[in-house]
Amino acid sequence: MARRIHCYVAGKGENFISDEEWEQIRKLQHWYSSEFFWTAGKPALKMFAVFPNLEHPLADEDALIEFITRRWQELRRIGWTENEILRTMRDEKLVLLKDGGYHEDCILSGSVRVADNEWNAYLFTEFTLKASMLAQSATFEVHDEGEFIRWRPVYFRQGNVLLHARSKQQYRRIEQIVEKNELFALIDPREYDDHPGYRTQVAGFRRMEKDEKRDVLRHWNWHGYESIMKNSANDDMHYDLHIKVKEIQISVM
């Protein structure tokens, strides 16, 4: 499986995202998805996982999907938010909803598959940081399966970064990372201008020698997990997410 970056807003504590805040986050996510090129997958944060209600009297699935689409468009035209539309269609027994997206015990969850595209990793992390500024009463928990983010997990709240240590030793380690500005790697987007898309098929695999197959499978199975990150740069073209953060706070749990 290719590397992903995951994001959750836990459905407990003081976390809350209003319908209006979600509309802003949804529009921001759409902007990032359409403005930039994503080689392995696009951002997919959700407040609801949505499924057609196949027990609806419209027994034909295609007819049901068409009806849901028309109903969606009708409610959109009169200015309803996405969440208002989904709850209404749930009440009308058109769809089934799972709160919080696909992850359990959340009010929002999702991920993006980035594989070894570190520019996409930067963009998704920047997006979630900005989302925390839009949803003022929510803490966004972000896990990078790779090495763009150097500590797991990080928490974003109101544009701040919250880091939790489980011991004094961990606290000192986090302090060193923060003091050196190494929490996020520096990224030069020019290096990813012609980055190949992620593939799940390898041409000519059956004809390869055993050693070649082993190398290909290792690269495929661990796509994006190895560290190739930079923490210094000689020009101004590298993007540094540290400068977008309001404050980094460290605590011992």
Assess if residue 118 is contained within a domain. Answer: yes
Mean pLDDT, rounded, for 161-177: 96
Assess if residue 221 is contained within a domain. Answer: no
Assess if residue 22 is contained within a domain. Answer: yes
In total, how many domains does the chain have?
1
Structure confidence at residue 229 (pLDDT)? 59
Assess if residue 246 is contained within a domain. Answer: no
Structural domain including 148 reads 4-47+100-185
Assess if residue 172 is contained within a domain. Answer: yes
Structure confidence at residue 194 (pLDDT)? 86
Neighbour-count burial of 241, counting CB atoms closer than 10 A to its CB (0-12 exposed, 13-18 middle, 19+ buried):
buried
Asked whether the predicted pLDDT for residue 231 surpasses 80, the reply is no
Asked whether the predicted pLDDT for residue 221 surpasses 70, the reply is no
Assess if residue 84 is contained within a domain. Answer: no
Structure confidence at residue 197 (pLDDT)? 75
Q: What is the CATH number of the domain that holds 158?
A: 3.30.70
Assess if residue 253 is contained within a domain. Answer: no
pTM over cut 0.85: yes
